[in-house]
Every structure is written in structure tokens, then in C-alpha cells.
Amino acid sequence: MTDTIVLSPGAVDLATLEHIYRSNAPVRLDPSCRAAVEHSARIIADAAAGAAAVYGVNTGFGKLASRRIAPEDTARLQRNLILSHASGVGEALSAPVVRLMMALKLLSLGRGASGVRWQIIDLLEGMLDKAVTPVVPSQGSVGASGDLAPLAHVTAVMIGEGEAVLEGRRMPGADALMLAGLKPIALGPKEGLAMINGTQCSTALALAGLFGAWRLALSSLVTGALSTDACMGSAAPFRPEVQALRGHAGQSDAAAALHALIGGSEIRESHRDGDERVQDPYCIRCQPQVAGACLGVMRQAGETLRIEANAATDNPLVVIEDGSIISGGNFHAEPVAFAADQIALAIAELGSIAQRRIAMLVNPALSYGLPAFLAPQPGLNSGFMIAEVTSAALMAENKQRANPCSVDSTPTSADQEDHVSMACHAARRLTDMNANLTRILGIEWLVAAQGVDLRAPLRTSATLQKAVATLRTEVAALADDRYLAPDLEAASRLVGEGAALAAVSDVALPRLEDRT
């Protein structure tokens, strides 16, 4: 039985969020937050019965906020809100992303500022525990008044509508709840609004992109170190003295990993003396600077997303200390959009410099003695000629996708929501960008391992030998040309599974939350 993850609203770290994303563990809120949650619910209940207009409690929504709603219609108001806002389209989001969305919504509600009853939290926890996963279309949010459409699809299941997946089967939401032993809930005042206002879809997608990109950044240090040895590059630029004179933590961390990965290489020792080259190309020499900057950007984005994950982001918010109900703008996902744009830049740059290492290794004018396209008999064989072209195509796609989404505002909702973040767009594209980077690194692993093999009888470091051996369990060294697509897919799959990182587990690699 998987241990339950207990969340303390306001204090959850990235490691816990990644655990939720990568597991099916049950998730619970720390019971200590219940008093604040129920206090805010009582404030909302009193407001719903009162004469003063309170947005979303006894009024319409958005441009319809001036329309008053009778007390007897408040429950219908909330149900109608969910049904009308469940207007997403496109492919469904993955189950891990949806589960993370639900956990993030628990964290937001757990701050005690949303005015929902504890029964809402009970049902969300029950759905996570029983693996009732709402079907959430991926398109429809502009990151404005929260991720309205995606979160409405989650909430629709809670009221017995929409669709969900249970035990691998897609079915009506009401059926999924019944089969899991759960009951749909009738929404009280503001509860529908509290569920759909917020940045939980954008944040979940951005976190998923971050977790994938970080692993790929570490994998790029492994493939980059292997490429460095394959081209008989120098490890001197990785020395700590160089990094200390600049002072960037990410650069120092990347250089330390590269230095450790190559340490003890016979190939490296063989050309310390008598090598007529003075400097390596930037794709080799500047790895600490480029990969390190990417690590730094991702750490900054991670801190933004950690804060957002712990935030109360719906509207209006309840201040339990004085009982006030305040209409604000915490649902605006601008911080998430900026963070996702930063992650996208890092993904694109990691792929860009890796692609240049691939191009260098297949080019006999740059690879320091390796045969053209790494084919033992070039001419008769084309070797990795077109694999390099494929890596260039993937790199170009990622560069195109890295254009910022956060500046692309468009007015919505009759100009009431006149500036939007596009955070969901910014975050959603990270999945495809990571897939492209995974394939670029798979190709680099193939060509770097081929280059190292061609340096025999000289051997790379003991650590990098294990990286080569891991690849060789799935893909043999290339002799004569063969149908190459399966090799590329196998290498990509290994990268995606973290096999390159597992192979070098004896080397300390940078951690996401070490420094911010």
C-alpha cells in the first residue's frame, strides 16, 4: 500500500509535488487546517443569506456580476456555473497532470480563504484515493479568471456530471463515483466558483514540464560529457576555479558534474600533451555556462511554481480574521506564464547546444579524427548523417515553440477579463518540447557512444562506460547501415525512463531545490 501524502497548505515543497505527479499515492490535507476552512465556510453562508451583494455568492459572474441572485437560487447558480464553464475541447490531459491539479486545488482550498465546506475537500481526497480521474480537455483556458474550463471539468465529476476514468475505463462521472463508493455533492454558496477560479491547471502543467525538463537537463550533462570525450575535448573548462570566478550556482553545479563524469578517462589523458587544438568549440567548452544557466532558470521557475502551488488563487477570498470577503485577482496566472516561458527557453537551449554537439561529432572537420558521420566505412555507409538532420528538425521545432506565450493577451468575457496570462498555453507546450528534447538527447547518446567506441582501445571514464553499456543493452554499435529509426526510438525511450541518470548514479548531480 502506498503511503498517504499529507499536505500542509502553504508549506509543500517541490519534491512532494513531484511525488504526487509521479505516483498514485493517496493525498490528504493536514487536519489542522480544517478549522480555518470551516470558519470561512460559515462566513460565506452568512453572506449568502444577507442583503449585501457579494460577487459569486449572490450575484452572477464576470460581466453578469451586477445581477443579484435570490437566496433560494444560490445552489442552482453554482451548478449552472459548472455546467456552462465545462467548455473545454481537445485531447484529454494525462492522468498524472489531472491528479496534480486536484492536489493543488486541495492546497488552495486548505488555506481557509475560499469559503467551501469540508465536504468538498473530503470528496476531492476520496477521488484521489480511489483513482477517479476526471476527463479534462486540454484546451480552453487563457489563464485569466483562473483555469475556468479545465477546473470545471474536474468539478463536473464531483456533482455527478462530466466524464471520468476509473480502472482504465472512461465513463460518466456519476458512474465513476458510484463504482468507487463515492457520492456526488450538491454545491453550496460560492463552492462552484471556488473550484473553478484558480491556476491549478496551468500550475500542474508547468510543474509537469519542470519535472521533466530538470531530468532531461541532468541527462544532457551525461550525454554532453560523453560527447566531450568522444571528440577528445578538454575537461579544463570544467574546473571549479573557472566557475568560481563567475559565481553562478547553476554553472558551478553543471561544471562539477561534467568534471566528475569524465574523471579518470583514458581518452582524456591520451591528448593532454601534443594536442594542437587550443580551444574546443563552444558546444563543448561552454557547457557549464549554457546548461548551468538553464539549471538556474529552472530553479527560479521552480520557486515561482512552489509559491503558486501553495497559494489561495480563487475569488473572492475570505479573510477569516475580520470576516471580510474581498474580490481580488489572485486567479490571474501571470507568474505561472512567466515561469513556463522560462522553462521553455531552457528546454530549447538544452536542445540547441546538444544538437551542435551531435553536428560536431558527425563532421570529420571538427571531430578530431572520427570518420565522417561516424560510419566505419563512410561513403558506402551514411552512418548518422540523417539522424543529425532529425535532431536539427527537433531543435527547430523547440525554438519555434519557445516564443513567449505570456505577452499574447487577448480580451475575453465581454472585456471584463481584458488582460489574460495565457499561462495554460505556456505550460501545455512544455510536454511536447520535452518530448523533442528527449529525442535530441537520445540521438546525442547514440552518436557520442559511437564516437567513444571508435576511440578504442582507449576507454572513457568508468562512469561513462556504464552509460555506454546501458545504451548497448538496447542498441548495438553501428557498423554497416541499418534501419535506424528503431535505434533512435530505443535511445529516446531510455532517456525518457531516466536510464542515463541511473547509469551514472555514483556521481552527484545537481538538485532542483538546492539553491534558488
Which residues are catalytically annotated? 55
Cα–Cα distance for residue pair 422/457, rounded to 1 Å: 54
Residue 207's closest CA among 99, 132, 306, 75?
A: 306
CB atoms within 10 A of CB 44: 25
Angle at 342 between CA 289 and CA 244, to 5 degrees: 25
| CB-based contacts of 67, cutoff 8 Å, min separation 6 | 59, 60
Output the nine-digit C-alpha cell for 158.
464531483
Instruction: Name residue, grid cell 548495438.
Output: 476
Query: Comparing C-alpha atoms, which of 441, 403, 437 is closest to residue 422?
Result: 403
Q: Which three cell numbers stand for residue 256?
A: 562539477
Q: 3-class DSSP state for residue 285?
A: helix
Residue 337's Cβ-side half-sphere holds a number of Cα atoms within 13 Å equal to 24
Residues with Cβ < 8 Å from 46, sequence gap 6 or more?
Answer: none
Q: Could you tell me how far CA 297 lies from the centroid of its own chain?
A: 14
Q: Which three cell numbers stand for residue 212?
A: 521533466
Using DSSP's 3-state secondary structure scheme, residue 515 falls into coil
As beta bridge partners, residue 146 has 144
Distance CA 111, CA 88 (A): 27
Give the Cα separation of 261 and 220 in Å (integer): 12
DSSP letter for 108, please. Answer: H
CB 64 within 8 A of CB 345: no
The answer to whether residues 149 and 140 touch, using CB atoms and an 8 Å cutoff, is: yes
Listed residue (99, 201, 109) closest to 152, CA to CA? 201
Q: Where are the beta strands (DSSP E) in 252-408?
A: 317-319, 324-326
Task: Give the DSSP per-residue string, 85-110.
Answer: H---EEEEPPHHHHHHHHHHHHHHHT
Residue 363 three-state SS: coil
Task: Please name the residues in contact with 272: beta carbons below 8 A apart, sequence gap of 6 or more.
Answer: none
